[in-house]
């Protein structure tokens, strides 16, 4: 298959999935509402102390972002699997990695990018010091695509299961923990005036590795689920 054909298929899939996402606004807004609710409840639960909120802000925001992402992963491939679109694409002659990449990109645009855009508001609510705001945004820019990339593998493996959402969480949570620790540590280091370039470098390396490997792993998982 020629490269222009693959590019055209990728663009068409991205456009189609974006249109479907905006038609299902309730599903698109659900992770964002969950994110806002989780972050909003923490000050009520632990107390309004500015110093306490500032100290836990990086971890709270990242945990909320992680949970909001997982909440939307189960629907990543499920609708296309149930209506036969995945099977039709698999026999069309196009590489399955094309649909994997398109789905991952749309998932990040719909679920990951809004988290990045909301992060200044979340940081303000949690009284995060301004020195850590830029690093928080940087970690989310580097980390949320990794959440989508890794999550797509779990979503592809469990798409054929009726209750795959529970298993999906068990599959992806252990893989998310190192990213969560590094990201929260980078923001805390920035607030404390310590170097944080090493943490950002690790996150960038993780993004490159996930971007290189995850689409192929997702495509392989989709083929297994379609058999």
pLDDT for 176: 94
Closest CA to 143 of 97, 185, 100, 98: 185
79, pLDDT greater than 90: no
* The pLDDT of residue 23: 84
What stretch of H or E contains 27? helix 25-46
Instruction: Report the sign of the C-alpha dihedral through residues 176, 36, 152, 73, in that order.
Output: positive
pLDDT the model gives residue 77: 85
Helix axes 197-226, 75-82, angle to 10 degrees: 20
**Residue 164 has what pLDDT?**
65
CB 168 within 8 A of CB 158: yes
Mean pLDDT of the chain: 87
Residue 28: per-residue pLDDT? 77
Domains contained in the chain, number: 1
pLDDT at 81 over 60: yes
Q: How confident is the model at residue 101 (pLDDT cuts 50, 70, 90)?
A: very high
| Predicted local distance difference test score (pLDDT) of residue 86 | 82
**How far, in Å, are 5, 51, 54, 97 from residue 40 at the CA level?**
46, 16, 14, 38
pTM: 0.89
* CB within 8 Å of 36: residues ≥ 6 apart: 118, 122
CA 121 and chain centroid, separation: 19
Rounded mean pLDDT of 154-165? 81
Q: Among 2, 162, 9, which Cα is nearest to 85's?
A: 9
Q: Which of 135-139, 195-199, 221-225 has the lowest mean pLDDT?
A: 221-225
Domain region containing 50 = 3-226
Closest by CA to 90, choosing from 159, 148, 23, is 159
Q: What is the mean pLDDT of residues 100-115?
A: 92
Chain segment 123-139, per-residue pLDDT in tens:
988 888 888 999 999 99
């Amino acid at each position: 298959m020629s490269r222009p054909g693959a590019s055209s298929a990728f663009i068409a899939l991205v456009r189609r999935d974006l249109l479907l996402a905006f038609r299902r606004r309730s599903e698109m807004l659900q992770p964002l509402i969950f994110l806002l609710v989780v972050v909003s409840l923490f000050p009520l639960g632990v107390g309004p102390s500015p110093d306490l909120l500032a100290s836990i802000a990086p971890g709270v925001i990242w945990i909320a972002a992680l949970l909001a992402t997982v909440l939307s992963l189960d629907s990543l491939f499920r609708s296309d699997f149930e209506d036969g679109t995945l099977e039709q694409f698999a026999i069309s002659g196009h590489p399955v990695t094309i649909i994997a990449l398109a789905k991952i990109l749309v998932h990040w645009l719909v679920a990951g990018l809004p988290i990045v855009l909301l992060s200044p508001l979340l940081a303000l609510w949690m009284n995060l010091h301004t020195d850590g705001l830029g690093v928080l945004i940087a970690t989310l820019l580097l980390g949320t695509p990794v959440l989508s990339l890794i999550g797509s593998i779990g979503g592809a493996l469990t798409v054929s299961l009726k209750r795959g959402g529970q298993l999906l969480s068990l599959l992806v949570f252990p893989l998310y923990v190192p990213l969560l620790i590094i990201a929260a540590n980078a923001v805390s280091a920035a607030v404390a005036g310590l170097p944080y370039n090493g943490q950002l470098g690790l996150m960038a390396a993780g993004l490159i590795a996930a971007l290189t490997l995850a689409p192929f792993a997702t495509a392989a998982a989709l083929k297994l689920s379609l058999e």
